[in-house]
Chains A and B, each alone.
Chain A
Amino acid sequence: MTGSLGLIAAAIAVGLAAVGAGIGNGLIVGRTVEGIARQPEARGMLQTTMFIGIALVEALPIIAVVIAFMVIGQ
Chain B
Amino acid sequence: MFDLDEMFYRELKYIIYLVAFYVLGWGFTPYKSVFLGLIFGTCLSLFLLWTMVSKNRKLTKAAMEGKKMKSVGTLSRMATAALAVTVALQFPDALHLVSVVIGLMTIYFVIIIDFFIQHLRQK
Contact = CB atoms under 8 A, between A and B. Distances in A.
Interface of A: 14, 17-18, 21-22, 25, 29, 32-33, 36-37, 40, 43-52, 54-56, 58-59, 61-63, 65-66, 69-70, 73-74
Interface of B: 1-4, 7, 52-53, 56-57, 59-60, 63-64, 72, 74-75, 77-78, 81-82, 84-86, 89, 97, 101, 104-105, 107-108, 111-112, 115
B74 A21 contact: yes
SS class, residues of chain B in contact with chain A? helix
A55 B7 contact: no
A25 B89 contact: no
A45 B111 CA distance: 15
Given A36-B63, A69-B86, A48 B104 contact: no
